Structure 1
Amino acid sequence: MRKLVLTLICILAINSIMAQTRNFLDIPYLETSARVDTLVSPDKIYLSITIQEKDSKDRKSVEEQETQMAKSLEALGIDIDKQLTIKDLASNYKKYFLRSKTVLKSKQFSLLVYDGLTAGKVMAALEDLDIANTYLEKTEYSKMDELELELKSRAVKKAKKKADALTNPLGQKVGIAIHIVDNSQPYYPSYNQPRLEMRTMAMQDSSAPAPLDIGFEKIRVESTVNVKFELSK
């Protein structure tokens, strides 16, 4: 009995698909596709920072280095309560041993900044503190959802224009859209250290090193749609 029910369901599903196909064939239609894209500059830049003790006589503790780093970041106008987070929440410290059984500690952070100039200033400040283990973690664009919706609308409008261009020489008119497929791929944040482009700013003080304005690789966002329009004479 169960096999009979499953068979009937399959037959009904196949008949439904065939009916939809016949409906498309019974209605004169035109199928077009369109793709639009744009480039945007990232406005959320994440830097990975690792503080660790060094095996030397004058080594500074992780706590001391963390305090110095916090003061330097605050001097740059960074809100460390909102922009600085610990990456390893399971364990604030990672410990490792040398052959002499000396225990050294390290601590890893993620810092959020909003522009390339600030990122350059942060890297310079950390270098002054001898915290050189810093790299670009990922970049994001904060208004990505709104941008993707805008591109989808532009893609549909472009498909309509293409349909008009194809039918005007034939004396036909494009009617309502009877089928729309969104083939767009969602955007995912860029990881693995995107390329950096260093640009030296004009120096206000010739005796001081110029801050670096880091130009990050722009994010490409695109949308693709496939639309079937009803045709009329």
Structure 2
Amino acid sequence: MKNLIYFVIAILTVKSHSQNKNFIDQPYVETTSKADTLIIPDRIYLNIVISEKDTRGKISLEELETKMINKLNSIGIDLKKQLSLSDLSSNFKKYFLKQQEVQKAKLFNLLVFDAKTAGLVIQKLEEENISNIYLEKTEYSKIEQLKLELKSLAVKKAIKNAEYLVKPFNLKVGEAMFISDIDVNITNLNYGRNSAIQIRGIASLREYGSEAENKEIEFEKIKVSAEVGVKFKLEK
């Protein structure tokens, strides 16, 4: 029985070695390629803080909340889908603590779909003395599909690279022998995470590339790249 087991193992080992040897012995060309693009985020998450402290107690929290809701309604925000009440996170606790007194405040999460609306939200809420607005994160809703498309583009680019590499040798690129999905990278400071950036008033919008006079705001574009490695057979 032991001899049979050893025999089977020996066959598998020889077969595996033979396959590897055949792969290595074949003439091939190997290349890596990258495809990338810049996209505008279409999901912008803002944290809105309302507090009686900001009006020195002249306006109650309930009044501020009503004013905020009315302003958001006036610019077409779908409150049921885009606005939610959040517990005060650790990032905001210090803001509400002064001389051991807890300030009466609320934290809301707001989702908007473009920078223009984000700027309008900031402008309209500032008119009601609500200027503590934080950029939580930015996202792109079709990121997974974009990753796949970039991988496909990178493979096509790898074919071109291989063709140019072998052209001086009067050789042709054959079928792919091996394809490696090397890396997908997303470059954006605020993508998918809490960036702890505070937006206070229209004047500070310049740091986001805005024009103070028209009160527009821009967010950093998201750079997405995909890299692949491919081995091609060589043909005469």
TM-score tier by shorter-chain length is 0.7 to 0.9
**C-alpha distance in structure 1 between counterparts of 2:173 and 2:54, whole Å:** 75
Deviations along 1:90-109, whole A, 9 cap, x unmatched?
Answer: 9xxx8x7765x865322111
**C-alpha distance in structure 1 between counterparts of 2:19 and 2:146, whole Å:** 34
Gaps of 5+ in 1: 201-209
1:185 aligned counterpart, secondary structure: strand
What amino acid is the match of 2:52?
A: E
Gaps of 5+ in 2: 198-206
Aligned length: 214
Out of 212, 216, 222, the residue aligned to residue 219 of structure 1 is 222
Consecutive aligned runs of 4 or more in structure 1 exceeding 6 Å deviation? 10-17
1:215 aligned counterpart, secondary structure: coil
8 Å Cα contact 1:120-1:211 kept in structure 2? no
Percent pairwise identity: 45
- 1:57 deviation in Å? 6.8
Identify, as 1 or 2, the structure richer in helix. 2
Deviations along 1:142-174, whole A, 9 cap, x unmatched?
Answer: 221221111111100000001111112212111
What amino acid is the match of 1:131?
A: I
Matched with 1:130 is 129
- 1:116 deviation in Å? 1.6
**C-alpha distance in structure 2 between counterparts of 1:11 and 1:60, whole Å:** 84
8 Å Cα contact 1:86-1:109 kept in structure 2? yes
Aligned pairs for 1:123-202 within 5 A:
123-185=122-184, 187=186, 189-191=191-193, 192=195, 196-200=208-212
**C-alpha distance in structure 2 between counterparts of 1:41 and 1:55, whole Å:** 33
Residues 155 and 60 (structure 1), Cα distance of their counterparts in 2 relative to 1, 3 Å cut: same
What amino acid is the match of 1:82?
A: K
What amino acid is the match of 1:65?
A: L
- 1:220 deviation in Å? 0.5
**C-alpha distance in structure 2 between counterparts of 1:62 and 1:17, whole Å:** 73
With the length of structure 2 as denominator, give the TM-score of the two structures. Answer: 0.77
Matched with 2:21 is 22
Residues 81 and 156 (structure 1), Cα distance of their counterparts in 2 relative to 1, 3 Å cut: same
- 1:131 deviation in Å? 1.4
**C-alpha distance in structure 1 between counterparts of 2:10 and 2:230, whole Å:** 29
